[in-house]
Amino acid sequence: MREQTSETIAILQHTDDLVLRSGPSTLEIRFADTPAAHSVLQQLAFSSTVSALSLRILHIRGYHVFPLIDVYLNAKNAPFDERLQVGSMALYGLRGSSTADSKNPGTGLHESWDVTRVFEIAARQKNWSYHSFTLTFVPQHAFPEGAELSFERIELVVFN
């Protein structure tokens, strides 16, 4: 049996851009200049079968109760195309996972979605770019006053 391998083909980490204070908020993530990223982008360009893609948002931290947050790929303006919805972030337990104590290192929550089909759809849109993509975070309700939600890292991973 062949072992499955993975490689990060896009990443955004450790920047001030990774803080949401209200919504909707849009972040741009650049594709890496690597053979794996080029291969996936070629597959998308020629409508061939794309390797499995996973979007991961790591070390989500916050100290308030947040609403459900919908995440869209390359969708900057409302109304948002449901075909470009990556998923939703339900941040239950966020405050506890963000606070270090004797039982928890305080590293926050993690979200991960299979985004293969969403990227295939987005690649057919006129706003598609082979250099970067955007994620738009749309809270279903307003954030509490003064609330901030931070991410340490957003990555797109390809599985072979």
Query: Which residues fall within 8 angstroms of residue 101, CB to CB, at 6 or more apart?
Result: none
Q: Go through the domains of the chain in sequence order and give each one's CATH number.
A: 18-153 (2.60.120)
Q: Report the distance separating Cα 127 and Cα 61, nearest Å.
A: 31
Kindly list the strands in the beta sheet with 52-60, ordered across the sheet, starting from the edge strand earlier in the chain: 6-13, 153-159, 52-60, 109-114
93-125 tens-digit pLDDT? 999 999 888 888 888 999 999 999 999 999 988
Flag whether pLDDT at 1 surpasses 60. Answer: no
Q: Report the distance separating Cα 31 and Cα 131, nearest Å.
A: 6
Does the pTM surpass 0.95? The reply is no
57-84 tens-digit pLDDT? 999 999 999 999 999 999 877 788 999 9
Give strand pairing partners of 29.
133
